[in-house]
Amino acid sequence: MTAASEPYVLNIGPQHPSTHGVFRVRVVMDGERIRDIDMIVGYLHRSMEKLAEERTYTQNIPFTDRADYLAAMSGNLGYCLAVEQLAGVEVPERASYLRVIFAELQRIASHAMANGQLVSDAGAWQTPLLYMWREREKILDLFEMTCGARLTTNYMRIGGVAFDPPPEFFPAASALLDELPARIAEYTELLVDNEIFLARTRNVGVISAADAINASLAGPMLRGSGVPWDLRKAEPYCGYDRFDFAVPVGRAGDAYDRFMVRMEEVRQSVGIVRQALDGLPPGAHKTDIPLALRPEPGEAYARVEGPRGELGFYLVSDGGPAPYRFHIRAPSLINLTLLREMAVGASLPDAIVALGSIDIVVGEIDR
């Protein structure tokens, strides 16, 4: 027996506990079932792409912090790689290692946040979130130690990184790396052995591999659907081919797989950071570039594997001091492409979990 009722419109967001910022979806609901979903974004639109056209290449680095404010290092890195590709700047070996170390630490921090939020969305009243934040806090402390900032780091520079880490960074980092694997194992075990968590995340927001590729999904969304695609392997920037790590691939493409892929990625990142710390070569941490950097006219598209997926920067230069065009390929926005497919027909709690498993950052969606 099916009972039909009058559909009604429910506004989820922009102020809602599980929209992770000022994201808004307008949902047409029939009882608890979602009939239609429409996302409304732009509440955090800061017009970065336009503003960047009137700032020098170096002045634009802070924008990349503030786009994906949970993965500032990855944003910095992608942008600096694009400018270096555009201007033909060589990066010293030590700077590449430092970039890898900080990008991977950032990935751990971001994934801890994402997974904690997902479990929080599934109803665990913030406890897993706060435990994962504990690890994130330590990483942010490392960032603060190195560059003075925790969230919007502004650490990478064109041609290297801004500062060499202080001497106390290395013992702190290795202490963190020593305790992280046990912590990850503990959290994974606690959550994966929890029947309620499994019941809430398995077969929720399922995306097939073909759909994931066709819809330009990236990062844990793509890998969770079973596609072994990771730019660190496919296009090893910053010398990622020197490090030994594996790409975790999900099975069913549901929220649970995305969760587990993120957990496994954290484990792999710990390995990468440890290898990079062990092999950190001496030398300069940045190369001198002209203060007035005017790249030749041309264009560059550099991508990094950010925590949320393929974070691309498309830069066009007309030979002037500022980029002629600055475009961010924002994985948070593009991962939302299949939101309708994931949510329509599901119930509200499932849709919330599916949305949480996408791991959106509104700063990056709206830019």
Site for other proteins in 182-211 (CB under 8 A): 189, 192-200, 202, 209-211
Residues in 259-278 that interact with other proteins by CB under 8 A: 260-261, 264
Residue of 88, 148, 283, 345 that binds other proteins (CB under 8 A)? 88
305/12 Cα distance (integer angstroms): 30
Q: Which is nearer to other proteins, 107 or 223 (CB)?
A: 223
180-210 burial, b for 16+ CB within 10 Å, e for fewer?
A: beebbeebbeebeeeeebeebbeebbbbebe
Min dist. Cβ of residue 358 to other proteins (A): 13
CB of 270 to other proteins, least distance (A): 14
Residue 138's contacts (CB-CB under 8 Å, 6 or more residues apart) are 172, 176
Q: Which is nearer to other proteins, 147 or 212 (CB)?
A: 212
> Min. distance of Cβ 119 from other proteins in angstroms?
6
Site for other proteins in 304-323 (CB under 8 A): 310, 312, 314, 316, 318, 320-322
- Report the residue count for the chain: 367
User: What value, to the nearest 5°, has the Cα angle with vertex 117 and ends 116 and 120?
Assistant: 90
For residue 88, the Cα-to-chain-centroid distance in whole angstroms is 27
Extract the tokens encoding 322.
């500022």
165 secondary structure, DSSP code = P
**Helix ranges restricted to H, 37-162:** 48-51, 61-67, 72-87, 93-121, 127-147
List binders of other proteins among 146-185 (CB under 8 A).
Answer: none
134 counts as binding other proteins under rule CB under 8 A: yes
Residues contacting residue 160 through CB under 8 Å, at least 6 positions apart? 91, 92, 95, 98, 284, 285, 286, 287
Specify the residue for token string 């102020």. 15
User: By CB under 8 A, what part of segment 40-59 binds other proteins?
Assistant: 41-42, 45, 47, 49-50, 53-56
Q: Which of residues 111-130 bind other proteins (CB under 8 A)?
A: 119-127, 130
Q: Indicate whether 241 belongs to the interface with other proteins (CB under 8 A).
A: no
Q: Which of 225, 269, 275, 357 binds other proteins (CB under 8 A)?
A: 225
Q: Which of 333, 342, 354, 360 binds other proteins (CB under 8 A)?
A: 333
Residue 255 interacts with other proteins (CB under 8 A): yes or no: no
Least Cβ distance, residue 233 to other proteins (angstroms):
5
Q: How far is the CB of 92 from other proteins (least distance, A)?
A: 19
